[in-house]
């Protein structure tokens, strides 16, 4: 495959479909995320930055909290570039710790709060995390992991600390008898409040290079195993600029976004949190998925931007009392992480009057690479056009040097300033997906004559259920650990709500008996809830190739044939 330098004038048919005001190209970000935030703070000091459970924080207040966290973290003696794990939902403490860690020259490792002990242990060890910010309810789990990992500092936040006073009082009354709300910290650990207490309100800026790692974001990736994508300040900041450039009526400093997407996911991190840092506006934080709460927030807060995943929009348009809530403030919704059904798009736009636009990305690209135009030409079933400064090709599956003509299938490869530096401590895995500057996505795509791209299949075994990337092999390893299981294979099967759902095909050891619920319960003990198979089919054997490899594709085809029958 030729590099961009060898073929600078290669035709990009998608440029003709850029809306007026969308740049044909875009300079990569020239500032770090903290530098952008300081500029945003200077422009809008008294504007509301965060809204959380009715509590408002201005940019000035948020900036002070971030500075205090930076000072406190710098005082721990951890070396520059050390990994700081954030084991938190969407809450002010995440935003403060994220901004403070980056400002002090550290690398952030966002962790999914739904992870069970085994999963979190892997991520902390693989990332070399030396400090962690967690919640009181997770503190016992973190203490169990302390000796199994390289953690040197544990900071414990209480979710209620940033509630409005009356709500905090009610929360305390409701939780005072519940285990985990009040915990006694070990002498060497510290509460989030005490960590910030007494720290200076100002912080001496740390000079951080644009190519310095900002985050390690964990992903099943394109090669099937969980690993940390190294995303630097330029990657993350540029992707915000690219995404915003595709919104021609975006009003910097005036938009209000609702953050339902979790910040530990690259999609939520870029389109919600990093957007706040770079472009200002108000971010409405949603700490957990509660449909009624989300609708109430939309009705009360009047957000203009609502990034999400198809399952979220499906749930909203099917909510029985939807007509009781005013959703007319929503102007633009970006849908990603899974295919967006046309009927969902149509119904959601009818309810809100806004635009629901399908796009595409992957963690390794910060994550957004494609989007349909907001108000211009869009095509049903298409992931849209490459963003400014992004190149994309469809290449031959057997010969990646050969670019496929429009209308023919091949692997989607992308190039741009948002593409990761590589996987953390995984040079071989990095070499498999980054070749001559091109990121091999593992998705099979088609580009039409106009430059619109369509995902038609996957090379990788990754399952996308409810917007989550799920690695079948990880689930299979848990299934194989059960003493009654002889063989197991996991696939994604079509699901009208989640896009795909997890199904396990299991062969039991000779003479053993087991119920579907028994195996599901076992998985619940060893996997995050969204990874647990929803269906289990017991079989006498699994389809295999001549060399004994289980044929997942055959299982999927059997499922599809059964459904059609």
Round to whole Å and give the CA distance between 465 and 449.
Answer: 31
Last residue of a domain, one of 179, 209, 239: 209
Contacts by 506-514 with C-beta closer than 8 Å and gap 24+?
506/479, 506/536, 506/537, 506/538, 506/539, 507/538, 507/539, 507/540, 507/541, 507/542, 508/484, 508/538, 509/483, 509/484, 509/485, 510/486, 512/484, 514/484, 514/538
pLDDT of residue 499: 81
pLDDT of residue 282: 98
Round to whole Å and give the CA distance between 443 and 461.
Answer: 10
User: Does residue 337 fall inside a structural domain?
Assistant: no
User: Does residue 168 fall inside a structural domain?
Assistant: yes
Question: What domain count does the chain have?
Answer: 2
| CA 323 to chain centroid | 30
User: Does residue 23 fall inside a structural domain?
Assistant: no
- Between the CA of residue 214 and those of 21, 208, 561, what are the distances in Å? 30, 10, 46
CATH of the domain at 86: 3.40.50.980
pLDDT(280) > 60: yes
User: Dihedrals φ, ψ of 262, to 5°?
Assistant: -70, 145
pLDDT(460) > 80: no
pLDDT(131) > 90: yes
CATH of the domain at 488: 3.30.300.30
Domain membership of residue 101 as a residue range: 33-46+57-209
Helix or strand holding residue 204 (H, E): none
Judged by phi (left if over 0) then psi (alpha if -120 to 50, else beta), residue 564 lies in alpha
Round to whole Å and give the CA distance between 125 and 498.
Answer: 31
Q: Are strands 499-508 and 535-538 parallel, antiparallel or unpaired?
A: parallel
For the chain, how many residues are written? 565
Last residue of a domain, one of 178, 209, 240: 209
User: Does residue 559 fall inside a structural domain?
Assistant: yes
Tens of pLDDT along 190-249? 999 999 999 999 998 899 999 999 999 998 655 556 899 999 999 999 999 999 999 999
User: Does residue 381 fall inside a structural domain?
Assistant: no
Judged by phi (left if over 0) then psi (alpha if -120 to 50, else beta), residue 434 lies in beta
Confidence band for 565, pLDDT divided at 50, 70 and 90: low
User: Does residue 136 fall inside a structural domain?
Assistant: yes
Mean of the per-residue pLDDT values of the chain: 91
Last residue of a domain, one of 209, 238, 263: 209
Confidence band for 138, pLDDT divided at 50, 70 and 90: very high
């Amino acid at each position: 495959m030729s590099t961009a330098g060898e073929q600078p004038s290669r035709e990009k048919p998608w440029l003709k479909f850029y809306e007026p005001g969308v740049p044909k190209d875009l300079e990569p970000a020239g500032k770090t995320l903290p530098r952008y935030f300081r500029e945003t703070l200077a422009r809008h000091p008294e504007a509301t930055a965060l809204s959380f459970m009715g509590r408002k924080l201005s940019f000035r207040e948020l900036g002070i909290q971030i500075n205090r966290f930076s000072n406190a973290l710098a005082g721990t003696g951890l070396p520059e570039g050390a990994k700081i794990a954030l084991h938190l939902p969407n809450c002010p403490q995440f935003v403060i710790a994220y901004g403070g860690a980056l400002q002090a020259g550290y690398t952030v490792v966002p962790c999914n709060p739904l992870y069970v002990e085994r999963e979190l242990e892997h991520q902390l060890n693989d990332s070399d995390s030396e400090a962690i910010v967690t919640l009181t309810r997770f503190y016992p789990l973190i203490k169990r992991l302390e000796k199994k990992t390289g953690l040197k500092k544990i900071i414990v936040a209480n979710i209620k600390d940033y509630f409005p006073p009356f709500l905090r009082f009610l929360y305390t009354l409701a939780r005072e008898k519940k285990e985990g709300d009040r915990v006694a910290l070990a002498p060497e650990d510290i509460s989030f409040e005490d960590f910030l207490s007494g720290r200076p309100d100002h912080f001496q800026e740390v000079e951080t290079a644009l190519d310095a790692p900002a985050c390690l974001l964990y992903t099943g990736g394109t090669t099937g195993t969980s690993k940390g994508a190294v995303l630097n300040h330029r990657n993350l900041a540029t992707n915000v600029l690219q995404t915003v450039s595709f919104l021609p009526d975006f009003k910097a400093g005036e938009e209000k976004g609702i953050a339902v997407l979790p910040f530990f996911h690259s999609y939520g991190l870029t389109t919600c949190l990093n957007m706040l840092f770079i472009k200002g506006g108000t971010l409405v934080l949603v700490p957990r998925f509660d449909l009624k709460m989300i609708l109430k927030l939309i009705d009360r807060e009047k957000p203009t931007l609502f990034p999400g995943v198809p399952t979220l929009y499906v749930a909203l348009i099917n909510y029985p009392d939807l007509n009781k809530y005013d959703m007319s403030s929503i102007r633009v919704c970006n849908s990603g992480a899974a295919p967006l059904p046309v009927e969902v798009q149509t119904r959601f736009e009818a309810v809100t009057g806004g635009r629901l636009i399908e796009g595409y990305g992957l963690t390794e690209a910060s994550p957004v690479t494609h989007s349909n135009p907001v108000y211009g030409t869009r095509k049903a079933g298409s992931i849209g056009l490459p963003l400014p400064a992004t190149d994309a090709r469809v290449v031959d599956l057997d010969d990646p040097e050969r670019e496929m003509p429009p209308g023919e299938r091949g692997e989607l490869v992308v190039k741009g300033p948002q593409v990761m530096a590589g996987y953390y401590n995984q040079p071989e895995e990095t070499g498999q997906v980054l070749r001559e500057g091109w990121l091999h996505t593992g998705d099979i795509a088609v580009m039409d004559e106009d430059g619109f791209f369509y995902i038609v299949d996957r090379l990788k075994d990754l399952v996308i259920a409810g917007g989550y990337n799920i690695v079948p092999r990880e689930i299979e390893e848990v299934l194989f650990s059960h003493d009654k299981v002889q063989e197991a294979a996991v696939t994604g099967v079509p699901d009208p709500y989640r896009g795909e759902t997890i199904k396990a095909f299991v062969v039991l050891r000779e003479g053993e008996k087991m119920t579907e619920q028994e195996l599901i319960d076992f998985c619940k003990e060893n996997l995050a809830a969204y990874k647990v198979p929803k269906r289990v089919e017991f079989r006498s054997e699994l389809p295999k190739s001549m060399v004994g490899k289980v044929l997942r594709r055959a299982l999927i085809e059997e499922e599809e044939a059964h459904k059609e029958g």
